[in-house]
């Protein structure tokens, strides 16, 4: 059995007697032990080395102790696992992971980066990397009971190894995997559509089962967008529109608006059939969007939970599409702008006060994540919301990203935003871990 040495004052504070039976827990590993009261101790609680060894905590890694009188247990931590993907010998998104770990360390959190292959299911341990000085050091830790999913692409997340790992993690009682998966656009729409107030900002959206299902929407709106339900970063999106001289345009993400040809109904249906036979697509209403210098734009809100588990808006900024293109993703050549500059430059016919738009953005940026969590039953620590502004100044929700990419710099020149975007998921994880 393990042992912990307490001062008389500490024992009184915890309502513990000499020789009392307690337990020690780090992540999902737990060992039993006894309390020993000493009068010649410093104010620090003294945990014997064999406890760390039995529980699987590296002896050279600092920790905090927190006592629960209800469970009669000392927790060792805070410990957060960061699940990612290992390609060959390196973890993907290494720079972001290391920067996240720097902020975690500053908050007194032990953040361990690991992949599906690093889990020892029999021992309930992980062989992951922590930040030591400016480099990674591999160490074995107890399997954390709080894990932040940062697998960086649907492709990686759909590999058999990752699918099996996530399933086993989510089957463990008491383990919390937050931001557990990428979102399905159609399922997300259905979840949000249950709320009448959110319906007012959702463009009409349909799951596309047959090519001819586009015609009622195209007749009504003249422009629609076809999006893969499991797509990211603007890949696989098509713009379908009524051509001014007759026929219909079918624009790929990278095609220029200036080089579009018109197609007849049969050809267009054939092209769409080729898409939906390979993967699921939704059809979404096209909006008469406000423009910036003739280009469409959207507004990205980064909503994150803080150290108390409360949703906050960490960042908000505009993303302007390249000339002649219709997608504004930064990874596809979009240009980022500060939110105030975005609203100043937007060509809305109805001049809403910028303060009113900002207030509404903040309202939806908090309300929508809360509703999505409630409807799906999932736990999220962060979500990226893509918002459109039409020419009347009305706000529309285009889609939600459960794995928002966070740049290590900000276009507004405010390093606080970068710090908060990396720090808040760690603070939320610490909250979940009970510290």
> Does domain 185-201+289-402 bear CATH number 3.30.70.2500?
no
| Distance (Å, whole) CA 284 – CA 295 | 19
Whether residue 413 is predicted with pLDDT greater than 70 in this model: the reply is: no
Residue extent(s) of CATH 3.40.50 domains in the chain:
79-178
* Other CB atoms within 10 Å distance of the CB of residue 380: 23
Q: Tokens at residue 227, please?
A: 């999006």
Whether residue 368 is predicted with pLDDT greater than 60 in this model: the reply is: yes
* Cβ neighbours for 300, distance < 8 A, ≥ 6 positions apart: 315, 316, 317, 318, 319, 384, 385, 386, 387, 404
Q: What is the CATH number of domain 2-76?
A: 2.40.40.20
Quickly list DSSP for 313-339: EEEEEEEEPPTT-S---GGGT-EEEEH
| Distance (Å, whole) CA 196 – CA 62 | 50
Mean pLDDT for all residues in the chain: 92
What pLDDT, in 10s, does the model give residues 344-357? 999 875 667 888 99
DSSP alpha helices (H): ranges in 141-194?
154-157, 160-170, 185-193
> What is the pTM assigned to this prediction?
0.92
What pLDDT, in 10s, does the model give residues 196-249? 999 999 999 999 999 999 999 999 999 999 999 998 888 899 999 999 888 999
Residue extent(s) of CATH 2.40.40.20 domains in the chain:
2-76
Q: What is the mean pLDDT of residues 164-171?
A: 98
Topology of 79-178 in CATH? Rossmann fold (3.40.50)
In this prediction, what percent of the chain has a pLDDT beyond 90?
A: 77
């Amino acid at each position: 059995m393990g042992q912990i040495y307490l001062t008389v004052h500490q024992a009184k504070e915890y309502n513990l007697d000499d020789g009392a039976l307690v337990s020690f827990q780090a992540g999902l590993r737990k060992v039993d032990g006894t309390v020993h009261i000493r009068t010649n101790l410093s104010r620090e609680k003294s945990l014997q080395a064999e406890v760390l060894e039995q529980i699987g905590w590296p002896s050279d890694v600092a920790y905090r102790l927190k006592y629960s009188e209800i469970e009669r247990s000392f927790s060792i931590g805070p410990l957060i696992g960061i699940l990612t993907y290992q390609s060959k010998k390196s973890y993907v998104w290494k720079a972001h992971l290391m920067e996240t770990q720097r902020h975690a360390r500053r908050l007194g959190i032990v953040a361990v980066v690991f992949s599906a292959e690093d889990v020892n299911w029999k021992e309930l341990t992980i062989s992951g990397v922590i930040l030591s000085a400016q480099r990674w050091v591999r160490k074995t830790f107890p399997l954390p009971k709080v894990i932040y999913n940062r697998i960086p692409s649907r492709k990686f997340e759909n590999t058999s190894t990752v699918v099996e790992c996530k399933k086993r993690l989510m089957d463990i009682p008491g383990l919390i995997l937050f931001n557990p998966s990428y979102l399905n656009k159609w399922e997300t729409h259905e979840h949000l559509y249950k709320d009448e107030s959110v319906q007012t900002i959702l463009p009409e959206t349909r799951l596309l089962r047959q090519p001819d299902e586009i015609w009622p929407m195209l007749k009504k709106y003249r422009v629609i967008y076809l999006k893969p339900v499991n797509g990211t970063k603007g890949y696989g999106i098509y713009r379908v529109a009524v051509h001014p001289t007759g026929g219909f345009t079918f624009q790929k993400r990278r095609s220029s608006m200036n080089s579009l040809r018109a197609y007849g109904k049969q050809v267009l249906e054939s092209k769409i059939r080729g898409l939906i036979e390979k993967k699921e697509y939704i059809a979404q209403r096209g909006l008469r969007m406000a423009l910036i210098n003739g280009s469409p734009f959207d507004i990205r809100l980064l909503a994150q939970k803080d150290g108390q588990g409360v949703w906050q808006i960490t960042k908000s900024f505009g993303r302007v599409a390249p000339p002649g293109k219709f997608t504004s993703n930064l990874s596809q050549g979009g240009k980022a702008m500060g939110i105030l500059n975005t609203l100043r430059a937007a060509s809305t016919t109805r001049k809403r006060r910028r303060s009113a738009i900002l207030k509404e953005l903040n309202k939806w940026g908090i309300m929508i994540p809360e509703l999505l969590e409630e409807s799906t039953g999932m736990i999220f620590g962060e979500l990226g919301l893509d918002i459109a502004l039409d020419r009347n100044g009305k706000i529309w929700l285009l889609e939600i990203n459960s794995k928002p990419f966070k740049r290590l710099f900000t276009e507004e020149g405010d390093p606080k935003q970068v710090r908060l975007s990396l720090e808040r998921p760690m603070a939320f994880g610490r909250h979940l871990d009970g510290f």
